[in-house]
Amino acid sequence: MYHENTPTLETERLILRKFTHADIDDMLLLYSDKEVNRFLPWFPLKTRDEVSRYLYDTIFPFYEKDVAYSYAISLKENKQVIGYVHVNDIGGSNDIGYALRKEFWHKGITSEACTAVIDRLRKVNFPFITATHDIHNPHSGEVMKKLGMTYRYSYQEKWQPKDIWVTFRMYQLNLDGVERTYTEYQKKYSYFVEPLL
């Protein structure tokens, strides 16, 4: 098993790097936005202290692992952090998740950032990735399609801490040429297959 922890990546418009304490103010703009957080599991964060605790309790410990990919998305032009890309549950679902400040939506930035991360995963022989989106957030599903991911099935989960039932669509991209479908969500939750176009 290789060992790699969030190496810095560059694209035409972006620098993807580890989060630092200096990113708190930029991330407060993202995490405090109710519209952005509508499809994220946690409630909007309201203060710098809340964002700081989230970084120190959740993100920074991730960087202590042997294998980790948790990126701040920053603009090359001004170094401003405008979002994130994470690969969670490495060795399990390998779920790629992302969020972006809404003033940067629909500019191809999320796809650009995720493509760079996926290209890196290919280079280190990562086997596959999954991603899920709320059925009421089809734009996220469009990003998954642009990344070459394909729909596999849908499932219902009671999302915490919001404590609401959500139907998720699960997409997958096999990076190693081996055809497989991650089935743990099927085993854990009520699932079905939608006739998607």
pLDDT (0 to 100) of residue 3? 87
- Given a cut of 80, whether residue 115 has pLDDT beyond it is yes
Task: Quote the CA–CA distance of 70 and 111 in Å, as a whole number.
Answer: 16
What would the two tokens of residue 59 be?
């993100």
> What pLDDT digit, counting tens, does each position of 38-65 carry?
998 889 999 999 999 999 999 999 999 9
pLDDT tens column, 138-153: 999 999 999 999 999 9
The mean predicted confidence, pLDDT, of the chain is: 96
Candidates 3.40.50.300, 3.40.50.80, 3.30.413.10, 3.40.630.30; CATH matching 4-192:
3.40.630.30
Q: What pTM does this model have? A: 0.95
What is the reported pLDDT for 162? 92
Encode pLDDT of 1-41 as tens digits.
478 999 999 999 999 999 999 999 999 999 999 999 999 88
pLDDT band, very low/low/confident/very high, at 197 (cuts 50, 70, 90) = low
What is the model's pLDDT at position 42?
84
Distant-in-sequence, close-in-space partners of 62: CB < 8 Å, separation ≥ 6? 68, 70, 86
* DSSP one-letter code for 149: -
Residue 196: the pLDDT is 83
pLDDT tens per residue, range 103-112:
999 999 999 9
For tokens 């990113």, name the residue: 23
pLDDT score for 28:
97
Q: What is the mean pLDDT of residues 68-96?
A: 97
Residues in the chain: 197
Q: Which residue has the tokens 């993807």?
A: 16
The whole-number pLDDT of residue 61 equals 96
